[in-house]
Amino acid sequence: MYRLALNMLFGDRAKLAMLLCGLAFSALLMAQQSSVFFGIMSWTYTPMVNIRAQVWVSDPMVEQVNDAKPLRDTDLGRVRSVDGVAWAAPLHTSFVQARMQDGNFKLITLVGIDADTFAGAPAVLTQGRIEDLRLPDTVIVDEWGASLMGRMGVGPDGKPRSTPLKVGDTFEINDIQARIVGICKVRRAFTGGPFVYTTYDRAKGYTLGARRTLSFMLVEPQKGVTPDELCGRIERDTGLKAWTSDTVIWNWGERSLARNTFWWFWTNTGIPFSFGTAVLLGLFVGIAISGQTFYSFVLENLKYFAAIKAMGAGMGVIARMLFVQAFTAGLIGFGLGAGMAQAIGRAMIEKGMPPFVMFPQILWATFALVLGISFVSAIIGIIKVSRVDAASVFRG
């Protein structure tokens, strides 16, 4: 009977198309919105991805990576003396205004790294060399930031056009010249500003007036010491807060700074509510469209189901037929919706906006929800058919 159930479903192409549209739209909305949500949330801990270190040490009051509470420079020595530390390097991060050559101002994320070890330096440089940061007044700007901070001019078509900054260009931070010696590739951040790398000592100069400039310490454990273990030792010996740097969302541990950043944004911003609403909307729209269409499919076939009942099919057989129909539609609808979400996601990734992270878990959750919609649709149909009197087939 299941084969016939499927043929009944596929035989009514208009209804099937409507049903699949509802399910696919629902799957698309849920998968796409969830992926953008996780993409945006992954941007919140971008510094953890761009500035690579196994252990981060901060002031005990720090809750997330974008909220640095400066430490004393002497804390660096205390951390270096903890048993199990291979090395510890200072890190400065702050948001400062940069003045472009055309007089325009841009908010940048200033990253000061240790000039000796270059710990925390960007992984990929598309232009220049990291060593050139040791030259006076030098910075490395990220690729996207270079175009954002670019010089405004007029293109060949007469329209205003921004020319990305390149090696050799200069701008000012707190009236101090910053000369670009490299362009790097880093992940964009939730805060939106370009990443500008310089040395830790020069960063101090760029942030005149700040008494403390040590935002974090980047620490490498000695061989045989796990990051988690080292965090415990640093916290015990110094009273500072130590974090692991795992950024894999489904595997991060209790001490992960990325995890804490994620949950800080989860609880302190309206982002989850906003995207959660969109996902719920997708679910409700799916239930409404699919439920209604499936109900109308059942209504249209009601007299045939009544005839099948009269011929001796029990409700169990009919219920299974309806489940097969609903779940098949759900499966196809999910495939279409998830496929579209993936295609849109790829386009987004190419443009870089908005961020898009489609975990397998998102697909599984969307699949489960679409099956849930199909289940509800089938139940609505089963209730309707169960109320049909088999004797009604004799009433013309």
Which of 368, 366, 379, 367 has the alpha carbon at shortest distance from 315?
379
Question: Measured between alpha carbons, how far is 348 from 341 in angstroms, rounded to an integer?
Answer: 10
Residue with tokens 């500035």: 51
As measured in angstroms, the least distance from the Cβ of 24 to other proteins is 21
Q: Nearer Cβ to other proteins, position 159 or 387? A: 387
Question: Measured between alpha carbons, how far is 376 from 287 in angstroms, rounded to an integer?
Answer: 7
Q: Which stretch binds other proteins (CB under 8 A): 80-88, 96-104, 340-348, 387-395?
A: 387-395
Q: Nearer Cβ to other proteins, position 225 or 307? A: 307
Near other proteins in 4-63, by CB under 8 A:
4, 7-12
How many residues are given for the chain?
Answer: 396
Q: Which stretch binds other proteins (CB under 8 A): 51-59, 61-69, 91-99, 307-315?
A: 307-315
Q: Does 1 bind other proteins (CB under 8 A)?
A: yes
Q: Nearer Cβ to other proteins, position 264 or 295? A: 295
Positive or negative CA dihedral for 364, 369, 371, 372? Answer: positive
Residue with tokens 């975990």: 359
Q: Which of 103, 160, 224, 396 binds other proteins (CB under 8 A)?
A: 396
Q: Which of 158, 314, 351, 387 binds other proteins (CB under 8 A)?
A: 314
Determine the number of helices (DSSP H) and then strands (DSSP E) in the chain: 12, 12
Q: Does 248 bind other proteins (CB under 8 A)?
A: no
Q: Does 299 bind other proteins (CB under 8 A)?
A: no
Q: Does 393 bind other proteins (CB under 8 A)?
A: yes
Q: At 314, which helix (H) or strand (E)?
A: none
Q: Which stretch binds other proteins (CB under 8 A): 121-129, 242-250, 299-307, 363-371?
A: 299-307
* Diameter over CA atoms, the chain: 96
Question: Measured between alpha carbons, how far is 361 from 359 in angstroms, rounded to an integer?
Answer: 5
Three-state DSSP class for 381? Answer: helix
The alpha-helical segments, DSSP class H, found in 45-135 are 46-50, 74-80
Q: Nearer Cβ to other proteins, position 6 or 96? A: 6
**Quick check: 37 and 275 in contact, CB under 8 A?**
yes
Q: Does 387 bind other proteins (CB under 8 A)?
A: no
Q: Which of 58, 247, 301, 366 binds other proteins (CB under 8 A)?
A: 301
As measured in angstroms, the least distance from the Cβ of 1 to other proteins is 5
Q: What angle do CA 135, 141, 144 make, to 5 degrees?
A: 165
Q: Does 379 bind other proteins (CB under 8 A)?
A: no
**Chain residues in the site for other proteins (CB under 8 A):** 1, 3-4, 7-12, 301, 303-304, 307-314, 317, 389-391, 393-396
